[in-house]
Amino acid sequence: MTTDRTILINGVWEAGAEAGLPVVDPATEIEIAVVPSAGHDQVSRAIEAAAAAQPAWAALEPWRRADALRAIGACLMRHQEELAALISREVGKPLRKAREDVANAAIYLDYMAQWDRRIEGEIVPADNRNETILLNRVPIGVVAAITAWNYPLDLFIRKAAPALITGNTLVVKPTEVTPLACIRAIQLISDGNYLPAGVLNLVTGGGGVGAALSSHPLVNMITMTGHRDTGKKIMAAAAANLSRVALELGGSAPAIIWKDADLDLAADAIAFASFENTGQVCTSSERILVHEDVHDDFVERLVGRANRLRVGSPLDDVDLGPLVNRIQFRKVTEAIALAQAEGGRLRCGGHGVPSLPGKGYWVRPTVITDVTPEMSLFKQETFGPIAPIIRIASYDEAIGLANATRYGLTAFVFSNDYRLVMRAQNELRFGEIFINRSMGEALQGFHTGHMESGMGGEDGKHGVLKYTQIRSVYHSYA
């Protein structure tokens, strides 16, 4: 992929003005690209282009915007293999799953296109005679979209599709860790002329470019997926202009495995929720609270599943690729070592795969038992293929430990006790709760974090309406 077209401003491609950032294949540790960063002037011009293009884009008939989204989805699917290869290479994701990412992006575009005729206003009764009050939904304006590295194409589309269908224009800043699939997708969109110039702009770079976007007075909304600490910085920067923020941040999902749970179902679900995408999913189960009556049985089943998962080159028929980069590798391997030093028992997994060459950021699906609330593993978001198991004896203990975090994204409950499940869904302080099933959101649902897992939420009706604001209009005809 060429990296001389990484900045798109008002329909014209430019090279980034600042030094490049390397993109490394995590399976081989080979540098696969160097992506130049946008300069300050380029960031400003991209925002100005988005602001200039916005009124005409918002004035377009909504069904025309929907047609554009569908055309983009079809284009992505025509290039599914090329995009999947990029995702697989830069994230280290098995190719078959990267293909699914592209297909999911196209489905998402089609779903969001269907909102063209569904954004409705309201008419409310007036106090005055011969007066009508209309509550109209209007776009927010210029939206800056900042993404994380674990689903590079999907996170871009998850923001772009609802922002565009509702008449906003965009400046996208993909993650500097895995920017290639997003850049290539925007090149394809630009080459296909699916959108008027200035509607979708692209700037590349790291946190500095993100910060410049977040503090710019012409940016009306920053929609970001990433780490909690970055979310706080963005919110502080946005405060200068009172720009809106939508932040989809990290989590530390608890999973309660109650004594009456279907243990095979629970073990399948937790194996997926802990190890999918090499544990690099915001909804990953990071604290597994298992009732003492079924603890040993559950651990045995989970370890069996973990050992059956194939780890290896993303180009082979495997379940898990490597971790995304050296930083993540160090963080995860240190977390495993520290957990053992603090009294945790490694039941399977650990770093390295003996059958693979020395290069690459490999960590096998890891199950650690004897984890306690005092241990670091309990307290942090590890974002790796680790299933930490905590033994619990009562419902109150389970809920207390589950809620012992400032994160509030996802929780899981496995039980067939209807009363317990209903209590738990009321008492767990999380935005998304999966009962007797693994993670995986529906695009018509609402993926939302409470507390320090963010604000805003994505998907479905609420995910699209957040890119609108209400304008009240009083019509007097007395």
C-beta of 159 vs 291, nearer to ligand NAD = 159
Bridging pattern class, strands 18-25 and 30-37: antiparallel
| β-sheet bridge partners, residue 123 | 134
CB of 178 to ligand NAD, least distance (A): 8
Q: Quick one: tokens of 274?
A: 């802990």
Q: Distance between CA atoms of 86 and 352, rounded to whole angstroms?
A: 24
Q: Is 41 exposed, middle or buried (0-12, 13-18, 19+ CB in 10 A)?
A: exposed
Bridging pattern class, strands 244-248 and 253-257: unpaired
CB atoms within 10 A of CB 239: 12
- The residue among 305, 315, 316 whose CA lies nearest residue 276 is 305
C-beta of 315 vs 327, nearer to ligand NAD = 327
H/E stretch holding 401 reads helix 395-402
CB of 308 to ligand NAD, least distance (A): 26
Q: Distance between CA atoms of 247 and 112, rounded to whole angstroms?
A: 20
Q: Quick one: tokens of 450?
A: 């409470």
CA-derived radius of gyration, the chain: 23
C-beta of 144 vs 289, nearer to ligand NAD = 144
Q: Is 127 exposed, middle or buried (0-12, 13-18, 19+ CB in 10 A)?
A: exposed
| β-sheet bridge partners, residue 14 | 7
Decide if 172 contacts 183 (C-beta within 8 A): no
CB of 309 to ligand NAD, least distance (A): 21
Catalytic residues: 248, 282
C-beta of 288 vs 392, nearer to ligand NAD = 288
CB of 224 to ligand NAD, least distance (A): 6
**Three-class DSSP category at 114:** helix
Q: Distance between CA atoms of 320 and 363, rounded to whole angstroms?
A: 9
Q: Distance between CA atoms of 248 and 229, rounded to whole angstroms?
A: 12
Bridging pattern class, strands 432-435 and 18-25: unpaired
Q: Quick one: tokens of 446?
A: 């609402």
CB of 175 to ligand NAD, least distance (A): 4
Give the residue nearest to ligand NAD (CB). Answer: 210
Alpha-helix residue ranges (DSSP H) falling in 136-205: 152-165, 180-191
**Three-class DSSP category at 206:** coil
Q: Distance between CA atoms of 119 and 375, rounded to whole angstroms?
A: 48
C-beta of 276 vs 381, nearer to ligand NAD = 381
CB of 121 to ligand NAD, least distance (A): 29
Binding residues for ligand NAD, rule: CB under 6 A, are 146-150, 173, 175-176, 206-207, 210-211, 214, 224-227, 230, 233-234, 248-251, 282, 381, 383, 409, 447, 449, 454
C-beta of 119 vs 332, nearer to ligand NAD = 332
- DSSP code of residue 92: -
Three-state DSSP string of 313-364: CCCCCCCECCCCCHHHHHHHHHHHHHHHHCCCEEEEEEECCCCCCCCCCCEE
CB atoms within 10 A of CB 376: 15
C-beta of 26 vs 454, nearer to ligand NAD = 454
The residue with tokens 């699939």 is 181
CB of 207 to ligand NAD, least distance (A): 3
C-beta of 89 vs 450, nearer to ligand NAD = 450
CB of 417 to ligand NAD, least distance (A): 30
Decide if 458 contacts 111 (C-beta within 8 A): no
CB of 236 to ligand NAD, least distance (A): 9
C-beta of 144 vs 165, nearer to ligand NAD = 144
Q: Which residue type does 384 have?
A: G
